[in-house]
Structure 1
Amino acid sequence: MLRTKETLITTFAMFSLFFGAGNLILPPLLGFKSGEMWWLVTLGFATSAVLVPVFGILAHAKLQGTIFDFGKKVSSTFSLIYSLSIYAISISLPSPRTASVTHEIAVQPFFNISSLTTSVIYFSLVFVFVINRSRLLDVLGKILTPTIIVILLAIIGITIFDVDVSFGEATIKNPFSIGILEGYQTFDAIGAVVVGGVIIVSINLKTKASYEAKKGLIRKSGWLAGLALFLIYAGLIITGSLNQNNFSPDISRTELLTGISRLTMGNTANIFISILVSLACFTTAVGIVTGTADFIKERYSNYRNAYLYTAILGCVLGVLIGQFNVAYIITVALPALMFIYPLTIVLILLNVVPDRLASPIVFKVVVLITILFSIPDFLGSLEFLTIDKGIFGWIPLSGHQLGWVLPAVVAFVIANAIRNSALVKDPS
């Protein structure tokens, strides 16, 4: 039986691996634009940035393998392509973005150095942590995460109790769907399948506990980490909405976070926000590079140098891409997210539901339909077509860039109905 101490350490480590650049800079601007509708945008954001990632952790608790196991019921080839795509996206976009955010918020205000210099120093430190991965859970769970949470709670608490509680009007349409789509940019659903693998390997390095004991530990930690993420996100969104009248309507994400920090913490704001941003971004980058290296090592039959070479590649990509500004990386990431995120959500949910509802044929049908109906949203994000008009206008929720949702649900129901009908006719 694993103790409460292990549960808390794993929860803190899981939280820190999730909580990175996007998790920090996205919610305040959502609140800022949603005004009195902050609660609706919070529900949307929490759906894609909390609930789905928690389900991803629950799926890992059940599978206790790697990301490769998420798609095996479709086919081994599909699962390998999907896994490699996820890791390629992870080390090319969200990981470098953490360095970019760190430079803009935590380094640039204090030091006159280039983004290249910041990225080199940043990913050199990431590399040190990745190579020492056996101590990862303890360092993240005991030291870094508590520091992150204390600073966040200070900013949120001071704002809520010190600012006049009055909300302005929403400046965005469809706050719920906007919240869902903005939750994509946290990469947390993708993070769940990556981070979950890191947690599994880390637990296996520390304990020889039974499958059921580890399953219980991962499930409890996942729900607790999800609760912490929800409370922090809701707090940051409320913080942004309460400051709607204090900043220019066209303020950027990073400028808003920095501005709110100055209002709440005065002259010490820059120091605290720099520590917060650096730690939050750093832990996520470590998790992504570690997860990628773990996977490649496992695919190459635990060949040790595979881990080392992948860690080096991940850090080099981080240095090269991390030089671009945050807004540019977020823009570039959108098309990839519009295609891979729906597929990731579907695979997570299919691995959470009971096995009798998720047979290989159900996996194949639902995944195929999800891919097909994600293509219009993908092309729309590239501005190749307008998805709420023409031949795609009839798809429910297509105007909200969620045209894949209902077809995937219908495919799930029909595939199970056909399977059950076949079982009735031929019980053998």
Structure 2
Amino acid sequence: MKKTKEILVTSFALFSLFFGAGNLLIPPLLGYNSGGSWFLVTIGFMITAVIIPILGIYAHARLQGTMYDFGKKVSPLFSVVYCVLVYLISIAIPSPRTASATHEIAIYPVFGTSPLLTSAIYFSLVLVFVLNRSKILDFIGKFLTPFIVIMLLLVIGIGLFSSEFITNMPNLNAPSFVSGVLEGYQTFDAIGAVVVGAVIIVSLNFKGQVSFNVRKDLIKKSGLIAGFGLFIIYAGLISVGAFYGTEINIDNALNNDMQRAVLLRGISLAALGSFGNMTLSILISLACFTTAVGIIAGTADYFKGLFGDSQKIYVLTAIIACLFGVVVGQLDFHSIIVLAYPVLLFIYPITIVLIFLNVIPEKFAAPIVFRTTILVTLVFSIPDVVNFISPSKILKNLIDFIPLSHYSVGWLLPMTVAFLIVNLFKIIKNK
């Protein structure tokens, strides 16, 4: 009974640490724009927003160390640089984004206050939780997440029950499946997996001496349950967005950011009536808050370990991350998404490959395999990033030459070929 309770608490905590601003705001608009193709879009979205992140949790269950262990087979220097880069990105984009979403959807419509005031109060509360590090897992898993899940299921369940199941024509910039895959990037869930997975490991260590295999089993089962929860919620939000496409008008919204807010508010009102606005405000605040706590706690954990397990470094990192959140959190949600996109095109492929290599059997993931596949992934990710920042005819011709580059996954086929060739060479050499 105690073990089951521990699995559920850890599952809820994992779900909540994953589920933040983008996870709530992105799927409904994706469903709205996908119209009748919402099911195919959902499948693509699940790959980058559920399957890969849960594989990241499985990798943590096998390693049971820090994020450093994900990349150490490439080289110690690469792993340190990768970790620092991911944590800096995490406190620079997804963490402030949670404050921005909270302000725009939950705070400003009710109180009309400035984003600076919202961000300052928001990250002050985040700092309180992060400094009480040993209690994070239990508080989020036992209290906050069940409340978030119940409200989400209410909005989705009642929303689907009361909709007419009529959809618009698709309005996407890429094929439905590809659109789902690329929008899954924007949830930051794969990066979240390597960050919050480490938070879970540290939190379990606070609970006392538990054997490696017991922790491994606990993390794997918790990851599976959390992944199933994410799947249900994402599929529900995408489908509700698609089915309300003919009932809610978002064309008057100034940008995608406002469209997301208008659509989500419209769905909540349709599902829960006048109670919907208050429900949405509480829901977005809690979902964003738990994610910000997880990101900053994970970042502080890493730098604490990097500097000889120093508690002073932990506190200093948490304070700096929160101050940075206050500054960047004043930007609107859409601006942060635009800022994030080229960064994601660079770091996401590397993260996906590292997760993949840490999940497969070790005989197929020797250090030479790590080094080759990461190098190839890095090289073939750069054209996507540069083309997004500064498009040119020469670069366009190069991208046309690389398979799948039109869909911003030009790294995928070269990485797969490199992985197979290096492993084939190893097999031949051993024989």
Establish whether TM, by shorter chain, passes 0.5.
yes
- Written as runs of structure 1 = structure 2, the 5 A alignment for 1:17-32 is 17-32=17-32
**Equivalent position of 1:197 in the other structure:** 198
Structure 1 residue 311 displacement after superposition: 0.2
Between 398-407 and 4-13, report the one with greater CA deviation.
398-407
- Unmatched segments (≥5 aa) in structure 2: 254-258
Instruction: Write the letter of the residue equivalent to 2:36.
Output: E
Instruction: Write the letter of the residue equivalent to 2:186.
Output: Q
In the alignment, the residues of structure 2 paired with residue 66 and residue 254 of structure 1 have an alpha-carbon distance, to the nearest angstrom, of: 36
Between 71-80 and 206-215, report the one with greater CA deviation.
206-215
Instruction: Write the letter of the residue equivalent to 1:213.
Output: V
**Equivalent position of 1:393 in the other structure:** 400
Instruction: Write the letter of the residue equivalent to 1:272.
Output: T
**Equivalent position of 2:67 in the other structure:** 67
In the alignment, the residues of structure 1 paired with residue 348 and residue 164 of structure 2 have an alpha-carbon distance, to the nearest angstrom, of: 38
State TM-score, norm by structure 1: 0.97
Instruction: Write the letter of the residue equivalent to 2:145.
Output: T
- Unmatched segments (≥5 aa) in structure 1: none
**Equivalent position of 2:280 in the other structure:** 273
**Equivalent position of 1:103 in the other structure:** 103
Structure 1 residue 249 displacement after superposition: 5.3
Kindly report structure 1 stretches of 4+ aligned residues shifted beyond 4 Å.
none
Instruction: Write the letter of the residue equivalent to 2:195.
Output: V
Instruction: Write the letter of the residue equivalent to 1:380.
Output: N
**Equivalent position of 2:256 in the other structure:** none
- Matching of residue 297 in structure 1 with residue 304 in structure 2: yes
In the alignment, the residues of structure 1 paired with residue 335 and residue 166 of structure 2 have an alpha-carbon distance, to the nearest angstrom, of: 33
Aligned match for 2:383, one of 370, 376, 384: 376
Q: Over the residues paired in the alignment, what is the CA RMSD in angstroms?
A: 1.3
Instruction: Write the letter of the residue equivalent to 2:213.
Output: E
Question: Is the CA contact (8 Å cut-off) linking 1:2 and 1:217 kept in structure 2?
Answer: no
In the alignment, the residues of structure 1 paired with residue 145 and residue 226 of structure 2 have an alpha-carbon distance, to the nearest angstrom, of: 11
| 1:3 match: secondary structure | helix
**Equivalent position of 1:338 in the other structure:** 345
- Written as runs of structure 1 = structure 2, the 5 A alignment for 1:229-248 is 229-248=230-249
Instruction: Write the letter of the residue equivalent to 2:101.
Output: V
Between 390-399 and 289-298, report the one with greater CA deviation.
390-399
Structure 1 residue 389 displacement after superposition: 3.8
Between 73-82 and 384-393, report the one with greater CA deviation.
384-393
Between 378-387 and 180-189, report the one with greater CA deviation.
378-387
1:185-209 CA-partner distances (Å, limit 9, x unpaired): 1100000000000000000101311
**Equivalent position of 1:138 in the other structure:** 138
In the alignment, the residues of structure 1 paired with residue 377 and residue 391 of structure 2 have an alpha-carbon distance, to the nearest angstrom, of: 20
- Matching of residue 214 in structure 1 with residue 215 in structure 2: yes
Judging changes above 3 Å, is the alpha-carbon distance between structure 1 residues 321 and 271 closer, same or farther for their aligned structure 2 residues? same
Question: Is the CA contact (8 Å cut-off) linking 2:160 and 2:240 kept in structure 1?
Answer: yes
Structure 1 residue 391 displacement after superposition: 2.1
Structure 1 residue 386 displacement after superposition: 6.4
Structure 1 residue 109 displacement after superposition: 1.1
| 1:377 match: secondary structure | helix
Structure 1 residue 248 displacement after superposition: 3.1
Question: Is the CA contact (8 Å cut-off) linking 2:342 and 2:385 kept in structure 1?
Answer: yes
In the alignment, the residues of structure 1 paired with residue 375 and residue 382 of structure 2 have an alpha-carbon distance, to the nearest angstrom, of: 11
- Written as runs of structure 1 = structure 2, the 5 A alignment for 1:28-67 is 28-67=28-67
Between 32-41 and 248-257, report the one with greater CA deviation.
248-257
Structure 1 residue 167 displacement after superposition: 2.1
State TM-score, norm by structure 2: 0.97
Structure 1 residue 381 displacement after superposition: 2.1
Instruction: Write the letter of the residue equivalent to 2:238.
Output: I
**Equivalent position of 2:316 in the other structure:** 309
Question: Is the CA contact (8 Å cut-off) linking 1:58 and 1:219 kept in structure 2?
Answer: yes
Structure 1 residue 392 displacement after superposition: 2.0
In the alignment, the residues of structure 2 paired with residue 415 and residue 374 of structure 1 have an alpha-carbon distance, to the nearest angstrom, of: 20
| 2:274 match: secondary structure | helix
| 1:142 match: secondary structure | helix
1:362-420 CA-partner distances (Å, limit 9, x unpaired): 00000000000101111122143469941221211111111111111111101101111
| 2:322 match: secondary structure | helix
Aligned match for 1:349, one of 344, 356, 360: 356
In the alignment, the residues of structure 1 paired with residue 15 and residue 394 of structure 2 have an alpha-carbon distance, to the nearest angstrom, of: 36
In the alignment, the residues of structure 1 paired with residue 25 and residue 175 of structure 2 have an alpha-carbon distance, to the nearest angstrom, of: 21
Aligned match for 1:323, one of 320, 330, 347: 330
Aligned length: 424
Judging changes above 3 Å, is the alpha-carbon distance between structure 1 residues 2 and 86 closer, same or farther for their aligned structure 2 residues? farther
**Equivalent position of 1:186 in the other structure:** 187
Instruction: Write the letter of the residue equivalent to 1:260.
Output: I
1:338-383 CA-partner distances (Å, limit 9, x unpaired): 0000000000000000000000000000000000010111112214
Question: Is the CA contact (8 Å cut-off) linking 1:35 and 1:169 kept in structure 2?
Answer: yes
Judging changes above 3 Å, is the alpha-carbon distance between structure 1 residues 268 and 58 closer, same or farther for their aligned structure 2 residues? same
